[in-house]
Amino acid sequence: MKKKNFTSTALHSDREGKPEHGVLHKPIHTSVAFAYEDARELAEVFQNKRKGYAYGRQNNPTIEALAQKITKLEQGLASVIFATGMAAISSTLLSLLRQGDHIVSSAYLFGNTNSLFNTFKELGIEVSFVDATDVENVSAAIQDNTKLVFVETIANPVTQVADLEAIGALCSDKDLIYFVDNTMTSPWLFSPITVQASLVINSLTKYIGGHGTSIGGVIVDSGKFDWAANKDRFPVLSEPDPSYHGVVYTDALGPAAYIGRCRVVPLRNTGAALSPMNAFQILQGLETLGLRMERHCENAEKLAAYLQQHEKVKWVNYAALPDSPYFTNCKNITNSKASGILSFGVSGGIEACTRFIDSLEMILRLVNIGDAKSLACHPASTTHRQLNEEELVSAGVSADLIRISVGIEHIDDIIADVSQALDKT
């Protein structure tokens, strides 16, 4: 982990330049549109020839402050913000892929991403799901029409850790876009750019916002993928765009072509813009991301160790446990920290699971992750319900699995609550 100046960057990077009136943080700009001195100036903004804002669906100063902060924390080239993490993933992929293209995806996915990829199949985009904890499986799935590889860093709820570095080398060797979902780790725990990711997505809803107040998503272009050199395979960026006054993005925007196009095409067309109010709340949450992540990791590690020795607990999934099958990958990518999500099986099957969850006194029964508060849920009946039996087995989500998103409360209180709930099973 390089992270030396992480929290300082998270605190100060939206005040660079000359903040208006010396404000302490970026104000909430609620103006829907922006006025200019003359018609030519506005036209130039519209044509990407001048920096500025035209209409709030594409950008806004508060949203841009958030984008710049994330770009810095991910050490990327440029970012674009969306209304949700899913909007970020779907808009990005729909803007790059065409009928007849193929993607290779980790089989261990956030439930909605899995459902999105199944929708892609209906649109004529082929998807191969593989066990991405070993690069060999990714390599074996690559075809002539493969354009992109999609992986999550640490998957939820079983905490499989993708073979991130080796997949990065493979993608760079084959000129494939390497699209990494960093939501579970957040830029504090892992920088996908260090394993040559081309694009990074974070759901801002989870650790980055951290307080359950706003949904949001962001795509970062790392600058590692050479869009211009691969223009034959991604004509959307290198051929004149008739829907945007014939612009050729790689010519007009240089290395930032992809993010620039995201703003003027998918974001404009889908309309999945974040509200400036939400951007402000996420910016505030982000200031303490580093402090919270430290506590999330420490608490989860202690809770995992407690559960492992409990007589009523059958098994524990947590990648930072030395006997986890994912420990080696975890050690390689995050220096043996595994974020705040763990899962475990309770003796007594689904009935015991229900009793455990119903008996919790402090830990909340709800299906979010990455919140400052500890949260518990039963994935097989909630978040992963859309999977059939076979898919549940291959995702490792058994019927007796309980997931806890470990919060930042004092560890003694978390363990006390889990302990009294286990007593009641």
84 binds ligand PLP (CB under 6 A): yes
Closest contact distance (angstroms) between CB of 110 and ligand PLP is 4
403 binds ligand PLP (CB under 6 A): no
Would you call the peptide bond into 266 cis, given omega within 30 degrees of 0 as the criterion?
A: no
Tokens of 352: 């015991």
Bin 406: left if φ > 0, else alpha if -120 < ψ < 50, else beta. beta
- 183 or 222, CB closer to ligand PLP? 183
191: CB partners within 8 A, 6+ apart: 2, 74, 75
Q: Which of 74, 152, 221, 301 binds ligand PLP (CB under 6 A)?
A: 152
Q: Which of 79, 90, 159, 183 binds ligand PLP (CB under 6 A)?
A: 183
Q: Which residues of 113-130 are buried (b: 16+ CB within 10 A; e: fewer)?
A: bbebbeebeeeebbbbbb
Closest contact distance (angstroms) between CB of 403 and ligand PLP is 11
Closest contact distance (angstroms) between CB of 78 and ligand PLP is 20
Q: Which helix (H) or strand (E) holds 375?
A: strand 375-377
What are the residue ranges of helices labelled H in 47-84? 61-73
Q: Which stretch binds ligand PLP (CB under 6 A): 81-89, 188-196, 292-300, 406-414?
A: 81-89
Do 111 and 383 contact (CB within 8 A), yes or no?
yes
Closest contact distance (angstroms) between CB of 217 and ligand PLP is 5
Closest contact distance (angstroms) between CB of 369 and ligand PLP is 6
133 binds ligand PLP (CB under 6 A): no
Q: Please give the C-alpha separations between residue 61 and each of 31, 65, 174, in angstroms, as whole numbers.
A: 10, 6, 38
Q: Among 95, 113, 67, which residue's Cα sits nearest to residue 264?
A: 95
90 binds ligand PLP (CB under 6 A): no
Query: Taking CB under 6 A as the criterion, which residues in 205-264 touch ligand PLP?
Result: 205-206, 215, 217
Closest contact distance (angstroms) between CB of 156 and ligand PLP is 6
Number of residues that bind ligand PLP (CB under 6 A): 15
The residues of the shown chain that bind ligand PLP, judged by CB under 6 A, are 84-86, 110, 113, 152, 181, 183-184, 203, 205-206, 215, 217, 369
